[in-house]
Chains A and B, each alone.
Chain A
Amino acid sequence: MTLSARGLVCDYGPTRALDRVDLDASGGSILAVFGPNGAGKTTLLRALSGERRPDAGEVTLNGAAVSGSDPAWRARVGLVSHRTGLYRKLTVGENLAFFGALHGINRDRQMAVQALDEVGAADLADIPVEKLSRGQRQRAALARSLLHDPDVLFLDEPFTGLDPGGASTLEAMLQVRREAATVVVLVTHDLERGLKLADRALVLRRGRRVLDTECSGREAEDLLPFFTAGGNRVE
């Protein structure tokens, strides 16, 4: 399975947030997207997931165009973002049951507990989200995003607020998704962690792809010149 983008352009009024970006992300591997603030990382993720319709270019999965307006595509997508996307007044179990039901998954408490158990948070099922710590919320959000076993997983700064235990759980989950041949696209500021986890790295600067390379053998210092003026390379 391969998620591809060709010539993606996204404009916000007169500002070009993405400028003819190409990429390929294969199932069973992790693509990390890096870049300075305002580089267009989150916009790229939104365009890939279908949350935002690109002004030009297209996104394909195995060569077939995909779009956010297609429910079948949305059913195959999972998202973990730095904002948890959970309802604070509901318990974690109720949140998972709600989102599970929208995905057509049997909405019982046992299902929620099982999903939470996979991220080491089975004990959170009956606790309202507003009573959880930031790290616990992020674990619950991770469980919610994996409920429907997505084929394509987008992660937008997922390590924000996670304690070391939570970060380890997330890393372990990413390994599981890699083994399950899921397409994983990870947006992060954390160069070291991103390079350690990912198979391929893409650096954006001012909406343009300035580096697309294998992660193997790369150090964070190798990528830093691409955050400022200078390098521009696709390997």
Chain B
Amino acid sequence: MMSLRWARLIAWKDLQVEFRSGGRLLAMIAFVVLACFLFALALDRSLVPARNVAASLAWLTILFAATTGAGRTFDTEEEDGAFRHLLLTPVSRHAIFLGKSAANLVLVWIVTILAFVALTSFLGVRDAGSIVRHGAVLLPGTIGLAAVGTFFGLMSRHSSLGDTLLPVLTFPLLVPVIFFGATASGRVLTERPWAEISGSVRLLWAFAIGFVAVGSVLFRYLAEE
């Protein structure tokens, strides 16, 4: 319970800092709008029905935007050495990981909603399927993205390669999330029955829980050295 309380405090602090500075969120939003616009321009809708590819394009946009944001997760911790002081409090390392992942998740949700709205608008997809079903697919997928981004966000900070390392580390791990997420979202968009979607959603939850659990355990080794 204490860890959850600490995680909540850290997430709230991160969001306060983020919404006051806005730099990371604005960059993610700008990326999403521009990427969706370019996808809409690049796609020849007379050859490829937009409804069939919108989900895949949305997931790729979310992946790239989330990675952009994840690279900046620890910027505010580093700018005046706050992370050193955070680590010297009695707070458990997994609470720090959970708190920062939760704050990242909120930002990823914002860009996810924006990506779906922007893509369906730009591609002219009407009747995009059940919002509840989209939420059921996107929730575990974005939890996985936020957890992996937070973990490797700190790892890339420790590397001389910095943010350029982040996609190299995260993309291979996120292949199953993108695959099952895009498959499930595509089926929601084309209004397939839930029985064809639920298997992918279960796998997305398995990945999300796995990423959060492994990240929580391993984060201390990253943070303390």
Which residues of A are at the interface with B, using a C-beta cutoff of 8 A? Answer: 49-53, 68-69, 71-72, 74-75, 77, 79, 81, 83-90, 94, 98-99, 101-104, 129, 137, 144-145
B129 to chain A, nearest CB (A): 39
Closest CB in chain A relative to B80 CB, distance in Å: 5
Q: How large is the interface on B (under 10, 10 to 19, 20 to 34, 35 or more residues)?
A: 20 to 34
Not counting A52-B225, A53-B224, A77-B88, a sample of 13 additional A-B residue pairs whose C-beta atoms are within 8 angstroms of each other reads: A53-B225, A71-B90, A72-B90, A74-B90, A87-B17, A88-B76, A88-B79, A89-B16, A89-B20, A98-B9, A99-B85, A129-B80, A145-B85
A83 lies within 8 A of B13 (CB): no
- Nearest residue in B to A68 (C-beta to C-beta)? B224
B169 within 8 A of A: no
A residues in contact with B76, CB < 8 Å: 87-89
Which A residues touch B16, using CB under 8 A? 89-90, 94
User: B98 → chain A, closest Cβ, in Å?
Assistant: 14
Top 9 A-B pairs, shortest CB-CB distance: A83-B81, A85-B85, A71-B90, A102-B89, A89-B20, A75-B90, A89-B17, A85-B82, A85-B81
Chain A residues positioned under 8 Å from B90 (CB to CB): 71-72, 74-75, 102-104
- Per-residue contact bits, chain B 15-59, to A (CB 8 Å; 1 contact, 0 not): 011001100000000000000000000000000000000000000
**Whole-angstrom CA separation of A53 from B224 in the bound complex:** 8
Check A79/B85 contact, CB under 8 A, given A74-B90, A103-B90: yes
**What residues of B have a CB within 8 angstroms of the CB of A51 in the complex?**
84, 87-88, 224
Say yes or no: A87 contacts B88, CB within 8 Å: no
Residue of B nearest to A80 (CB): B85
> How far does the alpha carbon of A53 sit from the alpha carbon of B9 in the complex, in Å?
27
Quick check: is B190 within 8 A (CB to CB) of the other chain? no
Asked whether, in the complex, the Cβ of B84 is within 8 Å of the Cβ of A87, the reply is no
Q: B14's closest neighbor in chain A, by CB?
A: A87
Task: Give A68 to B82 CA distance when docked, in angstroms.
Answer: 17
A77 to B90, CA, bound (A): 9
- Evaluate contact between B82 and A87: CB separation under 8 angstroms: yes
Interface string of B61-88 (1 = CB under 8 A from A): 0000000000000001001111011111
CB of B6 closer than 8 Å to a CB of A = yes
Contact A74 B88 (CB under 8 A): yes
Return chain A residues, CB-CB under 8 Å to B173.
none
For the complex formed, measure the closest distance between the CB of A47 and the CB atoms of chain B, giving whole angstroms: 12
Q: How distant is B198 from chain A, measured CB to nearest CB, in Å?
A: 40
CA A175 to CA B84, docked complex, whole Å = 25
Give Cα A137–Cα B79 distance, bound, in whole angstroms: 14
Contact of B81 among A69, A84, A129 (CB under 8 A): A84
- Chain B residue at minimal CB-CB distance from A81: B81
The reply to whether the CB of B92 lies closer than 8 angstroms to some CB of chain A is: yes
